[in-house]
A = this chain, B = another copy of it.
């Protein structure tokens, strides 16, 4: 089903060549200032055609709010948003060749087998345009998270091909122990990331290395993958549900649902498997300054402890601990390449497939706002779940003193 979230519920629709794409957002808190101006910037960041390195198709992608707001404020009712498809002509994508061949590593063949019909765009909902509804919905979640808890979500490109912003080393098999990395994630913002257009890797040196990789693959009519790091700051403690809906599990689900993703890691990640437990454990320390009754800081309503390292990536036992959350998502090389490919037609005849036009040799820069949007949807949903719990808890009598389940938290 094309639905995400239990509390902040997003349902998306649309293929490449239908009238419009969009979504319905249900569960947005009422009374929040919201207009298209809050949503359009991320739509525009997602848009292709922003540089010579990305695909030249120039889509306008203007979002229109259909419902759920009045006088510039949310009503608490479903917010429908649509974005017109300017190119609604079915069958103009690959022409007759695409009618004959399922494109290798695209969704053409699996969609056909799944549904028994063949959308003109080939992969139907497996199109990049499907992510428009996600980015629109994510922008609303982000606005709320910013207003309510000053949550900041920033993504950037962390590798292209084998060029890394923080290459793994014997000393730091995971960036989670690298002081330079830990410093960066506390300050990086979107404005800085966008300065490093078109690669969106916040380092002049690394950005240049990556640009060269992309240019080489572009010139070879080939493609290359990469990774996107995402950082979430100021997440209240206590978000994430035990067992199946741990916060990192929902983030993993969300990221792996973005087209072309092949991997996800949180905190120390795969490299963390090589770090001894005695180093990997994050010791507790008293929080530098305890904010007094900061709203949303867990049922105890103030986080008195923090950790002196952050291999956990801000999540322990599936629940946010108040530290900065960070995770990385791997994107494969785009399947559409200019090179001729030997493959087989629907009618079982081997042949040569040649893609027309110019294609994006590397999608990771454009993936940045999509990763941010999905991260926002995950945190928003977890926040509303925890708010429901806290609010329901707050109506109960306090626990009796001396109960083992009531810990002594002050001297």
5 closest residue pairs by CB, A with B: A107-B317, A223-B277, A263-B265, A388-B388, A253-B253
In the bound assembly, the distance between CA atoms of A313 and B337 in angstroms comes to 20
Among A47-55, A191-199, A391-399, the one that faces the other chain is A391-399
- Shortest Cβ distance from A149 into B: residue: B395
A257 at the interface (CB under 8 A from B): yes
A275 at the interface (CB under 8 A from B): yes
Contact A278 B339 (CB under 8 A): yes
A-B contacts, 22 of them at CB < 8 A, read A2-B26, A2-B243, A12-B78, A13-B77, A29-B396, A70-B90, A77-B115, A77-B124, A104-B282, A106-B317, A118-B404, A118-B405, A149-B395, A225-B280, A244-B253, A263-B270, A277-B332, A277-B337, A283-B344, A286-B350, A346-B407, A347-B409
Contact B330 A265 (CB under 8 A): yes
In the bound assembly, the distance between CA atoms of A243 and B106 in angstroms comes to 14
Contact B387 A284 (CB under 8 A): no
Contact B161 A274 (CB under 8 A): yes
Interface size in chain A (residues, C-beta < 8 A): 192
Question: 0/1 per residue, A374-411, Cβ < 8 Å to B?
Answer: 00000000011111111111111101000111111111
Contact A31 B110 (CB under 8 A): no
A238 at the interface (CB under 8 A from B): yes
Task: Give which listed residue, B259, B330, B405, contacts A269 with CB less than 8 A.
Answer: B330
Contact B305 A273 (CB under 8 A): no
Contact B406 A110 (CB under 8 A): no
Among A16-24, A37-45, A182-190, A201-209, the one that faces the other chain is A16-24
- Shortest Cβ distance from A330 into B: residue: B270
In the bound assembly, the distance between CA atoms of A396 and B147 in angstroms comes to 6
Contact A404 B99 (CB under 8 A): yes
In the bound assembly, the distance between CA atoms of A219 and B33 in angstroms comes to 45
Contact A105 B282 (CB under 8 A): yes
Contact A130 B243 (CB under 8 A): yes
A138 at the interface (CB under 8 A from B): no
Contact A26 B14 (CB under 8 A): no
Contacts of A263 in B (CB 8 A): 263-266, 269-270, 272
Contacts of A384 in B (CB 8 A): 388, 392
Question: 0/1 per residue, A67-79, Cβ < 8 Å to B?
Answer: 1111101111111
A255 at the interface (CB under 8 A from B): yes
Contact B388 A114 (CB under 8 A): no
Contacts of A285 in B (CB 8 A): 343-344, 350
